[in-house]
Amino acid sequence: MTDLGMVGESESPIHSVYLAYGGAAGVLGLPTGDEEEVVGARFPGRRRHYHGSVRGDLHGISAPVDRNDKISCNRPPEAHDAVDSTICWSVQTGAHVVHGEIRDLWLQMGAESGELGYPISSEEPTSDGHGRQSRFEFGQVTWYPDIGAVVSRYSHGSASTIRTHRASGSPSSDHDQPCRRA
């Protein structure tokens, strides 16, 4: 990590965000590998992938859970719902977390080297409080449990929807728009 001026993992901006999210005991869980350099993006950066778990529908990330699962003393809750996350960092954008179906779509679109670029915010609630969203250099991904992840790309100061996606890869509604590329 010396090429970016970092001496060790404990001093990495990615590791600092990881600890802020609770480390191994938090929603991010354990790393699935080492920090790696981002290849092919507009500027240098680093990222690290994680595999964690959540329980219940109040976890606040873009990962669906089974709300029909009945829980009682005779039927305890399932241990967890798995969720994958990535912390991505660059000098220009800082370190931000991308989770669940938002992460899945961002990775499918090329991650930092793709249409959306680096994340510029960690995942946060939508303004209506019913979904989640992550902002990127060139767009935003919004996620709702009933429709999945929707990409809006910034073009000349306004946003235009270019793709609707569910983790399975199938369209999520009758109102899907085809991908429009500039």
| Assigned domain for 105 exists | yes
Per-residue model confidence (pLDDT) at position 87: 97
Per-residue model confidence (pLDDT) at position 103: 95
| Assigned domain for 135 exists | yes
| Assigned domain for 131 exists | yes
CA 54 to chain centre: 14
| Assigned domain for 180 exists | no
- The token duo for 92 is 């220009």
Counting the structural domains of the chain, the total is 1
Q: Could you write out the DSSP letters of every residue in 128-177?
A: TSSSEEEEETTEEEEEETTTEEEEEEEETTEEEEEEEE-TTSS--STT--
| Assigned domain for 156 exists | yes
Per-residue model confidence (pLDDT) at position 53: 81
**What's the DSSP call for residue 118?**
S
| Assigned domain for 25 exists | yes
| Assigned domain for 64 exists | yes
pLDDT digits 0-9 by tens, 163-179: 555 444 444 433 333 33
Of 173, 175, 177, the C-alpha closest to 163 is: 177
| Assigned domain for 46 exists | yes
Structural domain boundaries enclosing 127: 2-165
Parts of the chain with a pLDDT under 50: 1-7, 58-59, 71-73, 75-76, 156, 166-182
0.85 exceeded by the pTM? no
Per-residue model confidence (pLDDT) at position 62: 57
